[in-house]
Amino acid sequence: DTGVSQDPRHKITKRGQNVTFRCDPISEHNRLYWYRQTLGQGPEFLTYFQNEAQLEKSRLLSDRFSAERPKGSFSTLEIQRTEQGDSAMYLCASRARDTSNEKLFFGSGTQLSVL
Amino acid sequence: LAKTTQPISMDSYEGQEVNITCSHNNIATNDYITWYQQFPSQGPRFIIQGYKTKVTNEVASLFIPADRKSSTLSLPRVSLSDTAVYYCLVGEMDSSYKLIFGSGTRLLVRP
Protein backbone atom coordinates (compact mmCIF):
# COMPACT_ATOMS: atom_id res chain seq x y z
CA ASP A 1 0.00 0.00 0.00
CA THR A 2 1.59 3.25 -1.18
CA GLY A 3 -0.80 5.50 0.71
CA VAL A 4 -2.51 6.74 -2.46
CA SER A 5 -6.13 5.59 -2.56
CA GLN A 6 -8.32 5.38 -5.62
CA ASP A 7 -12.02 4.72 -5.74
CA PRO A 8 -13.63 2.75 -7.22
CA ARG A 9 -11.20 -0.02 -8.14
CA HIS A 10 -13.41 -1.13 -10.99
CA LYS A 11 -16.12 0.61 -12.95
CA ILE A 12 -18.29 -0.83 -15.69
CA THR A 13 -20.44 1.61 -17.59
CA LYS A 14 -22.38 1.85 -20.80
CA ARG A 15 -21.26 4.02 -23.66
CA GLY A 16 -22.54 7.55 -23.31
CA GLN A 17 -22.68 7.55 -19.52
CA ASN A 18 -20.64 9.85 -17.29
CA VAL A 19 -18.20 8.45 -14.76
CA THR A 20 -16.20 10.01 -11.95
CA PHE A 21 -13.15 8.65 -10.20
CA ARG A 22 -11.64 9.80 -6.96
CA CYS A 23 -8.03 9.92 -5.81
CA ASP A 24 -6.83 10.56 -2.27
CA PRO A 25 -3.09 11.27 -2.35
CA ILE A 26 -0.66 10.96 0.52
CA SER A 27 -1.72 13.76 2.85
CA GLU A 28 1.40 15.88 2.80
CA HIS A 29 1.88 15.62 -0.96
CA ASN A 30 0.99 18.78 -2.85
CA ARG A 31 1.59 17.42 -6.35
CA LEU A 32 -0.95 15.08 -7.94
CA TYR A 33 -0.94 13.37 -11.31
CA TRP A 34 -3.43 11.42 -13.41
CA TYR A 35 -2.31 8.79 -15.90
CA ARG A 36 -4.14 6.40 -18.18
CA GLN A 37 -2.89 2.93 -19.06
CA THR A 38 -4.15 0.50 -21.67
CA LEU A 39 -3.26 -3.16 -21.86
CA GLY A 40 0.35 -3.78 -22.79
CA GLN A 41 1.30 -0.11 -22.75
CA GLY A 42 3.00 2.10 -20.23
CA PRO A 43 1.02 4.75 -18.37
CA GLU A 44 0.25 7.92 -20.36
CA PHE A 45 0.31 11.29 -18.64
CA LEU A 46 -3.04 13.08 -18.53
CA THR A 47 -2.78 15.99 -16.13
CA TYR A 48 -0.91 17.46 -13.17
CA PHE A 49 -1.91 19.54 -10.15
CA GLN A 50 0.18 21.53 -7.77
CA ASN A 51 -2.06 22.13 -4.77
CA GLU A 52 -5.43 23.06 -6.29
CA ALA A 53 -4.00 24.48 -9.51
CA GLN A 54 -4.12 22.35 -12.64
CA LEU A 55 -0.80 23.28 -14.20
CA GLU A 56 -0.53 20.93 -17.14
CA LYS A 57 -2.88 18.92 -19.33
CA SER A 58 -2.01 16.45 -22.03
CA ARG A 59 -3.62 16.75 -25.43
CA LEU A 60 -4.90 13.27 -24.66
CA LEU A 61 -7.29 14.96 -22.26
CA SER A 62 -10.16 15.76 -24.58
CA ASP A 63 -12.95 18.13 -23.63
CA ARG A 64 -14.93 15.16 -22.34
CA PHE A 65 -12.40 14.79 -19.56
CA SER A 66 -12.21 17.12 -16.59
CA ALA A 67 -10.13 16.92 -13.46
CA GLU A 68 -10.38 18.90 -10.27
CA ARG A 69 -8.59 19.19 -6.99
CA PRO A 70 -10.80 21.66 -5.16
CA LYS A 71 -8.95 22.08 -1.87
CA GLY A 72 -5.57 20.80 -2.85
CA SER A 73 -6.26 17.44 -1.25
CA PHE A 74 -8.29 14.77 -3.06
CA SER A 75 -8.86 14.91 -6.80
CA THR A 76 -11.61 13.77 -9.13
CA LEU A 77 -11.43 12.79 -12.78
CA GLU A 78 -14.69 12.90 -14.69
CA ILE A 79 -15.30 11.46 -18.13
CA GLN A 80 -18.46 12.61 -19.86
CA ARG A 81 -20.22 10.70 -22.62
CA THR A 82 -17.89 7.74 -22.28
CA GLU A 83 -16.70 5.90 -25.38
CA GLN A 84 -15.39 2.38 -25.73
CA GLY A 85 -11.93 3.83 -26.35
CA ASP A 86 -11.97 5.24 -22.83
CA SER A 87 -11.66 1.72 -21.43
CA ALA A 88 -8.38 1.71 -19.53
CA MET A 89 -6.79 1.78 -16.11
CA TYR A 90 -6.78 5.29 -14.67
CA LEU A 91 -3.91 5.84 -12.29
CA CYS A 92 -3.36 8.59 -9.79
CA ALA A 93 0.01 9.47 -8.31
CA SER A 94 1.29 12.00 -5.80
CA ARG A 95 4.60 13.54 -4.97
CA ALA A 96 5.94 15.41 -1.97
CA ARG A 97 6.32 19.16 -1.74
CA ASP A 98 10.12 19.03 -1.70
CA THR A 99 11.26 18.97 -5.34
CA SER A 100 14.34 16.99 -4.43
CA ASN A 101 12.07 14.06 -3.68
CA GLU A 102 12.05 12.18 -6.92
CA LYS A 103 9.46 9.54 -6.16
CA LEU A 104 5.97 9.39 -7.52
CA PHE A 105 3.67 7.22 -5.42
CA PHE A 106 0.96 5.56 -7.49
CA GLY A 107 -2.39 4.23 -6.42
CA SER A 108 -3.71 0.88 -7.60
CA GLY A 109 -5.87 2.55 -10.21
CA THR A 110 -9.46 2.46 -11.35
CA GLN A 111 -10.16 -0.03 -14.13
CA LEU A 112 -12.82 1.38 -16.44
CA SER A 113 -14.73 -0.82 -18.85
CA VAL A 114 -17.07 0.90 -21.29
CA LEU A 115 -19.57 -1.45 -22.89
CA LEU B 1 12.15 14.58 -22.76
CA ALA B 2 14.64 11.94 -23.84
CA LYS B 3 13.27 8.85 -25.53
CA THR B 4 14.22 5.50 -24.05
CA THR B 5 14.61 2.11 -25.66
CA GLN B 6 14.56 -1.11 -23.66
CA PRO B 7 13.94 -4.78 -24.51
CA ILE B 8 10.32 -5.77 -24.79
CA SER B 9 10.76 -8.88 -22.68
CA MET B 10 13.29 -10.97 -20.78
CA ASP B 11 13.25 -14.40 -19.21
CA SER B 12 15.23 -15.54 -16.21
CA TYR B 13 15.32 -18.20 -13.53
CA GLU B 14 15.05 -17.89 -9.80
CA GLY B 15 18.32 -17.03 -8.13
CA GLN B 16 19.90 -15.48 -11.20
CA GLU B 17 21.03 -11.90 -11.58
CA VAL B 18 19.03 -9.96 -14.15
CA ASN B 19 20.36 -6.95 -16.01
CA ILE B 20 17.99 -4.80 -18.01
CA THR B 21 19.62 -2.21 -20.23
CA CYS B 22 17.97 0.99 -21.37
CA SER B 23 19.22 3.25 -24.14
CA HIS B 24 18.70 7.01 -23.94
CA ASN B 25 20.97 8.54 -26.55
CA ASN B 26 19.44 12.01 -26.30
CA ILE B 27 19.66 12.38 -22.55
CA ALA B 28 20.03 16.00 -21.46
CA THR B 29 22.44 17.39 -18.92
CA ASN B 30 19.77 17.90 -16.27
CA ASP B 31 18.02 14.55 -16.81
CA TYR B 32 17.93 11.85 -14.18
CA ILE B 33 17.36 8.16 -14.90
CA THR B 34 14.61 6.44 -12.95
CA TRP B 35 13.29 2.90 -12.93
CA TYR B 36 9.82 1.79 -11.90
CA GLN B 37 8.35 -1.68 -11.43
CA GLN B 38 4.74 -2.58 -12.13
CA PHE B 39 2.78 -5.69 -11.20
CA PRO B 40 -0.55 -6.53 -12.85
CA SER B 41 -3.49 -4.48 -11.56
CA GLN B 42 -1.21 -2.19 -9.58
CA GLY B 43 0.35 1.19 -10.18
CA PRO B 44 4.07 1.51 -10.90
CA ARG B 45 6.42 1.50 -7.94
CA PHE B 46 9.68 3.44 -7.71
CA ILE B 47 12.76 1.23 -7.68
CA ILE B 48 15.83 3.39 -8.07
CA GLN B 49 17.12 6.64 -9.52
CA GLY B 50 20.54 7.89 -10.54
CA TYR B 51 22.42 10.57 -12.42
CA LYS B 52 25.82 9.00 -13.08
CA THR B 53 28.08 6.11 -12.04
CA LYS B 54 26.47 3.58 -9.75
CA VAL B 55 23.59 3.69 -7.32
CA THR B 56 22.60 0.83 -5.05
CA ASN B 57 19.70 0.36 -2.69
CA GLU B 58 18.12 -2.59 -0.92
CA VAL B 59 16.29 -3.66 -4.06
CA ALA B 60 18.55 -3.05 -7.04
CA SER B 61 21.63 -1.42 -8.51
CA LEU B 62 21.75 1.09 -11.31
CA PHE B 63 24.82 1.39 -13.49
CA ILE B 64 25.29 4.50 -15.61
CA PRO B 65 28.35 4.87 -17.87
CA ALA B 66 30.19 8.13 -18.19
CA ASP B 67 28.42 9.17 -21.41
CA ARG B 68 25.03 8.49 -19.75
CA LYS B 69 23.58 7.31 -23.06
CA SER B 70 22.48 4.07 -21.48
CA SER B 71 21.81 2.60 -18.07
CA THR B 72 21.50 -0.90 -16.64
CA LEU B 73 19.14 -1.97 -13.90
CA SER B 74 20.56 -4.95 -12.03
CA LEU B 75 18.34 -7.19 -9.93
CA PRO B 76 20.37 -9.61 -7.81
CA ARG B 77 19.11 -13.16 -7.26
CA VAL B 78 15.60 -12.70 -8.64
CA SER B 79 12.63 -14.60 -7.29
CA LEU B 80 9.27 -15.44 -8.82
CA SER B 81 7.84 -12.30 -7.23
CA ASP B 82 10.13 -10.15 -9.38
CA THR B 83 8.04 -11.06 -12.41
CA ALA B 84 6.78 -7.66 -13.49
CA VAL B 85 7.14 -4.89 -16.05
CA TYR B 86 10.14 -2.61 -15.55
CA TYR B 87 10.13 0.93 -16.92
CA CYS B 88 13.15 3.10 -17.60
CA LEU B 89 12.41 6.83 -17.56
CA VAL B 90 14.57 9.83 -18.24
CA GLY B 91 13.62 13.35 -17.27
CA GLU B 92 14.50 16.50 -15.46
CA MET B 93 13.56 16.85 -11.82
CA ASP B 94 11.80 20.14 -12.35
CA SER B 95 8.80 21.27 -10.43
CA SER B 96 6.32 19.24 -12.44
CA TYR B 97 8.51 16.19 -12.92
CA LYS B 98 6.13 14.70 -15.41
CA LEU B 99 7.09 11.10 -16.02
CA ILE B 100 6.84 9.78 -19.57
CA PHE B 101 6.60 6.00 -19.66
CA GLY B 102 7.54 3.77 -22.58
CA SER B 103 6.26 0.23 -22.99
CA GLY B 104 8.72 -1.21 -20.49
CA THR B 105 10.43 -4.60 -20.23
CA ARG B 106 8.35 -7.60 -19.21
CA LEU B 107 10.49 -9.78 -16.99
CA LEU B 108 9.39 -13.36 -16.46
CA VAL B 109 11.14 -15.27 -13.69
CA ARG B 110 10.78 -19.02 -13.98
CA PRO B 111 11.23 -21.57 -11.17
pLDDT of A12 higher than 70: yes
- Decide if A33 touches B, using CB distance below 8 A: yes
Which of the pair, A98 or B60, is modelled with greater confidence? B60
- Decide if A91 touches B, using CB distance below 8 A: yes
Taking only the tens place, the pLDDT of each residue in A25-35 is 998 888 999 99
Q: Quick one: A80 exposed, middle or buried, by C-beta within 10 A (0-12, 13-18, 19+)? A: middle
User: How much is the pLDDT for B95?
Assistant: 55
- Chain B contact probe: residue of A44, A104, A111, A113 with most B CBs at under 10 A: A104
Question: Quick one: average pLDDT of A17-42?
Answer: 94
Looking at the complex, report in whole angstroms how far the Cα of residue B20 sits from the nearest Cα belonging to chain A.
Answer: 17
A-chain residue closest to B89, CA distance: A42
* A104: confidence class by pLDDT, cuts 50, 70, 90: confident
Q: How many CB pairs under 8 A join A and B?
A: 67
Closest C-alpha among A15, A11, A10 to residue A81: A15
At A35, the amino acid letter reads: Y
Contact check, Cβ <8 Å, A31/B34:
no
Answer positive or negative: Cα dihedral of A1, A46, B105, B47: negative
- Decide if A36 touches B, using CB distance below 8 A: no
Contact check, Cβ <8 Å, B44/A43:
yes
Looking at the complex, report in whole angstroms how far the Cα of residue B2 sits from the nearest Cα belonging to chain A.
Answer: 15
In this complex, the residue of A45, A108, A109 whose CB is nearest that of residue B99 is A45
* A100: confidence class by pLDDT, cuts 50, 70, 90: low
| pLDDT above 70: percentage of residues in chain B | 94
Taking only the tens place, the pLDDT of each residue in A47-95 is 999 999 999 898 888 899 999 999 889 999 999 999 999 999 999 999 8
- Decide if A69 touches B, using CB distance below 8 A: no
| pLDDT above 90: percentage of residues in chain B | 74
pLDDT of B77 higher than 80: yes
Angle at B87 between CA A109 and CA B12, to 5 degrees: 110
